[in-house]
Structure formats: C-alpha cells, structure tokens
Amino acid sequence: MKKRTLGKSGLEVSALGLGCMGMSSAYGPAADKSQMLTLIRAAFDRGVSFFDTAEVYGPFTNEELVGEALAPIREQVVIATKFGFDLDPATSQRTGGLNSRPEHIKAVAEASLKRLRTGVIDLFFQHRVDPQVPIEDVAGAVKELIQQGKVLHFGLSEPGVETIRRAHSVQPVAAVQSEYSLWYRGPEKEILPTLEKLGIGFVPFSPLGAGFLTGKIDANTKFDRSDFRNSVPRFTPQALQANQALVDLLRDVAVRKKATPAQVALAWLLAQKPWIVPIPGTTKLHRLEENLGALSVELTPDDLQLIDIAAAKIRLEGDRLPPGALAMTGR
C-alpha cells in the first residue's frame, strides 16, 4: 500500500482511506454489523490504515463499529472522528443544530474515546463550522485536548479559507475534509491553494460522488426512502440524466486504461496533489477492492489534460447538498 503524509503534520496514512459513514447511516438502513466488522478488517489486511468516522454517524453506532473492528490492531491504524452537533446520548438523536462550544468539544472527545476503545483520537475534525463559536475558541479547545494527550491532530470539515487561516494560527490544522471530485471541484479555486501554502493535508469525502461516478447510478435508479440522496438536487432524475456525460467521460478513459470509472475518478483525485487522501466508502468487499485498484491506475499529464478539457465542456446540474446542509459549508 502506498503511503501519503497529510501536509506538514507528519501524519502518515494509506494513500486511500476508508470512509465508514455509509455502514451505519445516510445510504439507507444500517448494514449488517458482523459483515461490516469483517469489511473493515479486510480493508486493513489490504493495506488501508486510515479510517474515518464521526459521532453523528448512526448517531454513535459507527464509532462503536469502528472501535470494535480496529481494537486488535489499534496501534497500526489512524482513526479520524468528528465533533460539532448536538446529540442526545439517551435517544441517539440530534436534538439541535451545531455545537462547537469548548465544553461540548471536550465532552464529545471523552465519549468518542470510549466508543472507539482507544486512549487517543488521531485526528479530531470539527464536523461543520459553528458560526456561534469563534474558531479560535474551537482550536483552543482542541489544543488543550492535544496537550492532555487525548487528541493527536486537529482537522476542519467544510471550512472556508478565512476559518482555516484563523484556526491554524491557534492550533496547526493537520487536515481539511471537504467534498471534492470531478463532479464537484469547488475546493480548487481557494481551498487547495490555501492548504498548499499552509502545509495542510486534504481529505476529500464523496470522492465518487456518493456513488454516481461509479457508473452504477442513472436516471432510473431508485433509492431506499431513508437514503439521503433522495433530498439532494443533483440526484433528481433530470440532473442524473444531464450529468451522465461525466460518467461517460470516465468510462471512455477507463476503457483505455483497462480500469473502471470509479478507479479513474479516484486516480484523478490522487494525481491532483501528493497530500490528498480520498476516503471512498463502501459496504461491499468487491467495491473496496475495486477502489484500491485505483492506486495502480496511472494517469499521465496528457491524460489529466484531456480529462480536464473534456470535463470543462460538460454542464453539470444540481447542487451537491440540500439547501439547509449547503448553508453549513464554506464558512
């Protein structure tokens, strides 16, 4: 397994991580626990050392799953988890909106440590920027946790450039996590240049566009009624039909490279910067193996230029998130 270092943090991880959210939430009913334990361990056996979770996934159950799966090999892996929402431990439900008050951050850290069966959180992300709490206070709270040995590295998810700079001045940010793929290239304008300048790593989530870039979803696809994609504008039948041109582009490249569209999509991301570590998620072993196969797909500078030229001609339709969720990004 190839390794990458997240910016200047010194945090070395596998070049591809595993996003674990979909095992417990968001894409319909939770998957079978025993099967997911097996899948997480299979990922480790194949060289994956970076696992991403959050207290809100489930809520709570995903952290418990990841903690149980990785307990026997804890010293050989890097676990990222997140804070930032109001959740009720008694009912396992969200009770409010964002909450990044320092006392809440510290309470979440203690609870996450227990669910993850570990003494330290390798990478602790603020899940979404809380406009009610100065980011300096957030960074300061995580800095205290780092000083106490409960957290090793600080991360931000879906922040804006100014938030990144302000947080980094208080406690060095090891990584930023935001959506990035050929389907959504928003970070390219400001986020990626800022991260490069500051020496911060980048962890793209939804690197396969919540499944769309695999080529297995089209305008006729029906999702489970609890699947979050039902509420996402870019997953309406009309948008899916319009955006199919991007999958066709990936498929054309995949034929030449003897690969799959998903592998080309991931290889494209990996080729953008050496400090980018995508975290594709899956609940299926054959998809895990397919994703890892992207590490063997080499895209030349000519390939990348051709992809960019062709992609620029495609008019993509639909926002990547519902209005309420979109409003919590880029702050």
* Residue range(s) defining the domain that contains residue 276: 3-326
Cα–Cα distance for residue pair 209/49, rounded to 1 Å: 22
Is 256 inside a domain boundary? yes
Is 331 inside a domain boundary? no
pTM: 0.97
Contacts of residue 303, Cβ cutoff 8 Å, sequence gap at least 6 = 253, 257
Domain holding 281: CATH number? 3.20.20.100
Name residue, tokens 């008019």.
315
Of the candidates 295, 285, 277, 281, the one whose C-alpha atom is nearest the C-alpha of residue 66 is 281
Is 305 inside a domain boundary? yes
Is 97 inside a domain boundary? yes
Is 283 inside a domain boundary? yes
Amino acid making up residue 197: K
Q: Report which secondary-structure segment, H or E, holds 205.
A: strand 201-205
SS3 259: coil
Q: What pLDDT shows up at residue 96?
A: 75
Which residue in 27, 57, 180, 184 is the catalytic one? 57
> Is 180 marked active-site?
no
Cα–Cα distance for residue pair 59/55, rounded to 1 Å: 6
At 214, give phi and psi (nearest 5°).
Answer: -75, -20
Cα-based distances in Å from 140 to 19, 106, 168: 27, 11, 10
Q: What pLDDT shows up at residue 91?
A: 74
Is 241 inside a domain boundary? yes
Beta bridge partners of 126: 83, 156
The total of structural domains in the chain comes to: 1
162 CB neighbour count, 10 Å cutoff: 12
Contacts of residue 45, Cβ cutoff 8 Å, sequence gap at least 6 = none
Residue spans of the chain under pLDDT 50: none
Cα-based distances in Å from 278 to 59, 204, 263, 292, 294: 23, 5, 12, 11, 11
Cα–Cα distance for residue pair 3/97, rounded to 1 Å: 36
